[in-house]
Structure 1
Amino acid sequence: MRVLVVHNRYSSAQPSGENRVVDEEVTLLRAAGHRVGLFERRSDSIGSRSLLGKAAVPLLVPWNPAVRTELAARLRAERPDVVHVHNVFPLLSPSVLAACADAGVPVVATLHNYTQVCPPGTLHRAGRACGECVGPKVPLAAVRHGCYRDSRLATVPLAVGLAVNRRRWWSGVERFLCISAAQRELLVRSGMPAGRLVVKHNFVPDPGAVRTGPGRHLLFLGRLTEAKGVRLLMAAWEEVAAGGGVGVPLVIAGAGPLDREVAAWAEGREDVRFAGLYDPARVREAVAGAVAVVAPSEARETFGLVVAEAMAAGVPVVAAGHGGFSELVEDGVTGLLHRPGDAVSLATLMRRIAADPGRNEEMGRAARHRYDRFFSPAVGLERLVEEYRAAIAGRTESMGGS
């Protein structure tokens, strides 16, 4: 199969699960013998633009005519069977859909977040869940609140792009790949076409080894933001420490806006280690050495790669009981789900998962079994190719079999 992957890569200064997913899918498809091309833009390139060029970037967010022309020419030259769209913000724009329509190539789009109904894509604002813009309406609330980067001005291009391109997305994509059933359910409720929305979970590569022994630490791994539950975790750990601890330290690995706050909180403590940003090898080592991975996101995650990575290593998870986490984690079987936003609930479950090594080991084995069934590369490849074929068949049918 000939596949062209379209993706605007996020800044390399910040860890991006979405970039990882794209890279791993491309590698998987190529290893299976499919011919995969890339049509990319990189957000890193914005920094090297002139002052005028940087100022023009927001104008390209709703529509980039140069991208439409360039991609259409490439599609005519390469004639792929299907185009797989991932992120188009900020340099590609929904003009890629027009280029695919010009060339008559079917489109599959992975929805990594909630940008179809929420300009910043998080459904999270001011430390709590938010759904003000969900539904078939102009997302004026996002502009009023300055939801993207706490700036009304920066939010305007996203809100405009969502409003003017909504119908183009819904009619121009044959198959939307939701990465959890919870995400699909919310998007269907918002008015997106249910018949085009399917669930295809992300996969994670097999780390090559599973946990041996009881584990040496509890591990938070991810971006250091309030939405990821970092402040909630710190509050919960104070509860744990006040009760005498759990016998192992908390390791916090990642980078983000709360770097300094986390470092200051951890400084001088024997029960906490702030590790900063790990490279992939250190990530695998840290996960495989964990009593449990803690994922206390206050935003409703669409999936949760860190949860799947823990499962692959035979490690249970303590996660917030909402969004994609409720689907990934079988509560009491492969991990434990705490009440979202509740520090006491999170502290209680961190104590519980560390208190019974035998039960913890059982949950770890069950987690690995669940990974093999739902989140392994073999399953990911099968589902991906299946959806490509469905998109091709759908486009052929809509064209009258021509």
Structure 2
Amino acid sequence: MHVLVVHNRYGSAQPSGENNVVDQEVALLREAGHRVGVFERRSDDIAGRSLLSKAALPLLVPWNPGVRTQLAARLRAERPDVVHVHNVFPLLSPAVLAACADAGVPAVATLHNYTQVCPPGTLQRDGEPCSACVGKAPLPAVRHGCYRGSRLATVPLAVSLSVNRRRWWSGVERFFCISAAQRDVLVRSGMPAGRLRVKHNFVPDSGPRRSGPGEHLLFLGRLAEAKGVRLLMAAWDALGGAAGVPLVIAGTGPLEPEVTAWAAGRDDVSYVGLYDAQQCREVIARSVAVVAPSTWMEAFGLVVVEAMAAGVPAVAAGHGAFTELVEDGVSGLLHRPGDAASLTDCLRRIIAAGPELGRAARLRYEQGFSPAVGLERLEEGYRSAIAGRTQPSGGNH
């Protein structure tokens, strides 16, 4: 097939699992013999814009007519079989869907988060689950300044959600949800169930595998409230130095000063900052377990699957996508969301566990998250979208 991938790349200052997923899917499709083009914008480029251009940017978030013109021209020239849309914020906008309609090319879209029903895409406010905007006008998000703590910054996202809701639902033949948990939320919000398919992200099987019991517990991700960093610190303190293995924290984010101060002078905690991709693979493979204590409803959980690929189990919050990634007591452990005592207990148990959890985690990866499985689901979704141009949508799939 001939596929055109559409993506607004996130800034390089923070590691982006979504950017990685897009790059890995493009490489996978090309290796399988498909012709794949990329139409992208980069958030890094915003810094080089003029002051006037930066000031006008919020006006283009709901609709960027220049992108519509450019993409439609490329589609007419190249005639791909299908367009695969990922992130469109802030430089592309849902105008990409109009371009697909202009050129008569079917579109599929991967929903990496909850931006279809929540302006910041997190379904969380002030560290707590929130569904105030689900299925209704997103005025609460503006009132609370849910995007970056700013009412002004939230307005373009809220406007885009409101004015483009029907365009998304009618302009996309198939949506890829990255977990069943995410799909359930979106169906309950009123999205068309017949167009929502579950397609878990895959992870390349190219990294090192764990040998032996592991050297440390690992938190790898953004240092933010939603990722459960403060919860982890409280749970670790409750262990009172009795873990027997150190905790390694890798990543950066708004809580970095707090994490740095907490880890300073301790021999049971090591804060290592931001690792590159190869360092991440190596530190995962040396882990007793990966800890993913997110307080928000993760739509997927890439680090958990990366751990599975390395034969490493996870301790994860028992909500959102984690409940379908981790089989509690078999391929990892699930703790009560937001409960430090429950997390402490799981950390203690995972340290004492034998190698069986790691072996089961690797088997779970092979059966559900390998490149072969990912390619099959991508191709199936594309064929379904192409066929859907001549068939009415409906029913659950």
Structure 2 length-normalised TM: 0.98
Whole-angstrom distance in 1 between the partners of 2:3 and 2:390: 16
Deviations along 1:41-86, one digit per CA (max 9) or x if unpaired, are 0001110011111111100000000000000000000000000000
Alignment correspondent of 2:238: 239
Q: Percent identity?
A: 78
The answer to whether the Cα contact below 8 Å between 1:175 and 1:196 also exists between their aligned partners in 2 is yes
Q: Which residue number in structure 1 is paired with residue 143 of structure 2?
A: 144
1:150–1:201 distance in 2 versus 1, CA, 3 Å:
same
CA deviation after TM superposition for structure 1 residue 178, in Å: 0.1
* Offset at residue 217 of structure 1 (A): 0.2
Q: How many residues align?
A: 393
Supply the distance in 1 between the matched residues of 2:115 and 2:306 (Cα, whole angstroms).
25
Once residues 273 and 398 of structure 1 are traced to their aligned partners in structure 2, the CA distance between those partners, rounded to angstroms, is 56
- CA positional deviation for 1:397: 2.9
User: 1:121, 1:292 → 2: CA distance?
Assistant: 28
**What's the counterpart of residue 107 of structure 1?**
107
Alignment match of 2:283 (pick from 276, 283, 286) = 286
Match of 1:160 in 2: 159
Equivalent residues of 2:108, 2:172 under 8 A apart: yes
Q: Deviations over 1:190-209 (max 9, x none)?
A: 00000000100000111343
CA contact (8 A) 2:177 2:198 kept: yes
Measured in 2, the distance between the counterparts of 1:335 and 1:45 equals 41
Alignment of 1:242-391 (within 5 A): 244-356=241-353, 358=354, 361-391=355-385
Please list the CA deviations of residues 95-144 of structure 1 after superposition, one character each: whole Å capped at 9, or x if unmatched.
00000001110000000000000000001110111111111x21000000
Structure 2 residue matching 1:122: 3-state secondary structure: coil
Residue aligning to 2:182: 183
Question: Partners in 2 of 1:78 and 1:18 — Cα distance?
Answer: 26
Provide TM-score, normalisation by structure 1: 0.97
> In 2, distance between residues paired with 1:87 and 1:169?
13
Which runs of 4 or more aligned residues in structure 1 lie more than 4 Å from their structure 2 counterparts after TM superposition?
A: none
Give how far 1:398 is off: 5.3
1:215 corresponding residue in structure 2: 214
**Counterparts of residues 38-53 of structure 1 (less than 5 Å):** 38-53=38-53
Stretch moving more, 111-120 or 255-264: 255-264
Kept in 2, the 8 Å contact 1:6–1:38? The answer is: yes
Contact 1:106 1:392 in 2 (8 A): yes
Q: Distance in 2 between matches of 1:325 and 1:258?
A: 23
Q: Give the SS at the match of 1:283.
A: helix
Quick one: structure 1 residues 149 and 208, their matched pair in 2 at CA, closer, same or farther if it must change by over 3 Å? closer
C-alpha distance in 2 between matches for 1:378 and 1:117: 31
Matches within 5 A, 1:13-28: 13-28=13-28
Structure 2: runs of 5 or more not aligned:
none
Secondary structure of the corresponding residue to residue 314 of structure 1: coil
Q: Could you say what the CA RMSD is over the residues aligned between the two structures, in angstroms? A: 0.9
Whole-angstrom distance in 1 between the partners of 2:230 and 2:205: 31
Task: Measure the CA separation in 2 of the matches of 1:398 and 1:189.
Answer: 22
Paired residue for 2:201? 202
